[in-house]
Amino acid sequence: MKDIKSRTKEFAVNCWKFCSKIPHSREYNAYVNQLLRSSSSVGANYRAAQRAKSTADFINKLKIVEEEADESMYFLELFIEILDKDIQEVKLLHSEANEIVSIVVASINTAKRNQQER
Protein backbone atom coordinates (compact mmCIF):
# COMPACT_ATOMS: atom_id res chain seq x y z
CA MET A 1 0.00 0.00 0.00
CA LYS A 2 1.26 3.45 -0.92
CA ASP A 3 2.27 5.83 1.83
CA ILE A 4 0.12 8.88 2.46
CA LYS A 5 2.76 11.26 1.09
CA SER A 6 2.68 9.66 -2.37
CA ARG A 7 -1.12 9.26 -2.21
CA THR A 8 -1.69 12.97 -1.56
CA LYS A 9 0.60 13.85 -4.49
CA GLU A 10 -1.16 11.32 -6.72
CA PHE A 11 -4.55 12.70 -5.67
CA ALA A 12 -3.53 16.20 -6.76
CA VAL A 13 -2.21 14.90 -10.11
CA ASN A 14 -5.39 12.89 -10.75
CA CYS A 15 -7.54 15.94 -10.00
CA TRP A 16 -5.52 17.95 -12.53
CA LYS A 17 -5.98 15.19 -15.13
CA PHE A 18 -9.70 15.06 -14.44
CA CYS A 19 -10.08 18.85 -14.67
CA SER A 20 -8.26 18.94 -18.01
CA LYS A 21 -11.12 16.84 -19.46
CA ILE A 22 -13.89 19.14 -18.25
CA PRO A 23 -15.29 21.51 -20.88
CA HIS A 24 -14.10 24.96 -19.90
CA SER A 25 -16.90 27.43 -19.65
CA ARG A 26 -17.86 30.20 -17.27
CA GLU A 27 -20.11 27.73 -15.42
CA TYR A 28 -17.32 25.26 -14.74
CA ASN A 29 -14.26 27.47 -14.34
CA ALA A 30 -14.90 28.48 -10.73
CA TYR A 31 -15.45 24.86 -9.68
CA VAL A 32 -12.42 23.66 -11.64
CA ASN A 33 -10.19 26.34 -10.12
CA GLN A 34 -11.35 25.59 -6.57
CA LEU A 35 -10.84 21.84 -7.01
CA LEU A 36 -7.37 22.38 -8.44
CA ARG A 37 -6.44 24.75 -5.62
CA SER A 38 -7.69 22.51 -2.83
CA SER A 39 -6.36 19.24 -4.29
CA SER A 40 -2.92 20.77 -4.95
CA SER A 41 -2.90 22.09 -1.41
CA VAL A 42 -3.61 18.59 -0.03
CA GLY A 43 -0.34 17.25 -1.39
CA ALA A 44 1.75 20.34 -0.67
CA ASN A 45 0.52 20.71 2.91
CA TYR A 46 1.03 17.04 3.71
CA ARG A 47 4.64 17.30 2.55
CA ALA A 48 4.97 20.46 4.68
CA ALA A 49 3.58 18.58 7.70
CA GLN A 50 6.30 15.96 7.27
CA ARG A 51 8.88 18.73 7.75
CA ALA A 52 7.20 20.13 10.90
CA LYS A 53 9.60 21.01 13.71
CA SER A 54 7.18 20.22 16.54
CA THR A 55 4.18 18.02 17.23
CA ALA A 56 1.93 21.09 17.52
CA ASP A 57 3.11 22.36 14.13
CA PHE A 58 2.58 18.87 12.64
CA ILE A 59 -0.99 18.77 13.99
CA ASN A 60 -1.77 22.28 12.70
CA LYS A 61 -0.47 21.46 9.22
CA LEU A 62 -2.42 18.19 9.15
CA LYS A 63 -5.59 20.10 10.04
CA ILE A 64 -5.03 22.21 6.92
CA VAL A 65 -4.65 19.00 4.86
CA GLU A 66 -7.94 17.74 6.32
CA GLU A 67 -9.74 21.01 5.46
CA GLU A 68 -8.39 21.01 1.90
CA ALA A 69 -9.35 17.35 1.32
CA ASP A 70 -12.83 18.12 2.70
CA GLU A 71 -13.09 21.04 0.28
CA SER A 72 -11.96 18.81 -2.59
CA MET A 73 -14.70 16.33 -1.69
CA TYR A 74 -17.27 19.13 -1.71
CA PHE A 75 -16.32 20.19 -5.24
CA LEU A 76 -16.18 16.57 -6.41
CA GLU A 77 -19.72 16.13 -5.08
CA LEU A 78 -20.75 19.16 -7.16
CA PHE A 79 -19.24 17.53 -10.25
CA ILE A 80 -21.15 14.34 -9.52
CA GLU A 81 -24.35 16.43 -9.55
CA ILE A 82 -23.66 18.51 -12.66
CA LEU A 83 -21.69 16.21 -15.00
CA ASP A 84 -23.23 13.58 -17.22
CA LYS A 85 -19.90 11.88 -17.98
CA ASP A 86 -16.79 10.71 -16.10
CA ILE A 87 -18.94 10.04 -13.05
CA GLN A 88 -16.94 6.93 -12.15
CA GLU A 89 -13.71 8.92 -12.26
CA VAL A 90 -15.19 11.58 -9.96
CA LYS A 91 -16.38 8.90 -7.54
CA LEU A 92 -12.89 7.37 -7.43
CA LEU A 93 -11.36 10.79 -6.68
CA HIS A 94 -14.02 11.40 -4.02
CA SER A 95 -13.26 8.02 -2.43
CA GLU A 96 -9.51 8.77 -2.44
CA ALA A 97 -10.09 12.18 -0.79
CA ASN A 98 -12.25 10.49 1.83
CA GLU A 99 -9.53 7.93 2.58
CA ILE A 100 -6.93 10.69 2.83
CA VAL A 101 -9.12 12.51 5.37
CA SER A 102 -9.50 9.30 7.42
CA ILE A 103 -5.74 8.74 7.49
CA VAL A 104 -5.05 12.39 8.34
CA VAL A 105 -7.60 12.38 11.18
CA ALA A 106 -6.04 9.19 12.57
CA SER A 107 -2.59 10.82 12.34
CA ILE A 108 -3.83 13.94 14.15
CA ASN A 109 -5.36 11.83 16.93
CA THR A 110 -2.18 9.76 17.29
CA ALA A 111 -0.02 12.90 17.41
CA LYS A 112 -2.30 14.44 20.06
CA ARG A 113 -2.16 11.27 22.19
CA ASN A 114 1.63 11.16 21.90
CA GLN A 115 1.83 14.84 22.86
CA GLN A 116 -0.36 14.28 25.94
CA GLU A 117 1.72 11.28 27.05
CA ARG A 118 4.88 13.37 27.12
Query: Could you state, in chain order, the average pLDDT of each consecutive group of 10 residues for the chain (118 residues)?
Result: 80 88 77 89 88 89 91 87 75 89 90 83
Q: Which pLDDT belongs to residue 86?
A: 60
* Helical (H) or strand (E) element with 94: helix 87-117
Q: Which pLDDT belongs to residue 1?
A: 47
Q: Which pLDDT belongs to residue 3?
A: 84
Count of Cβ atoms closer than 10 Å to residue 5 Cβ: 13
pTM over 0.85: no
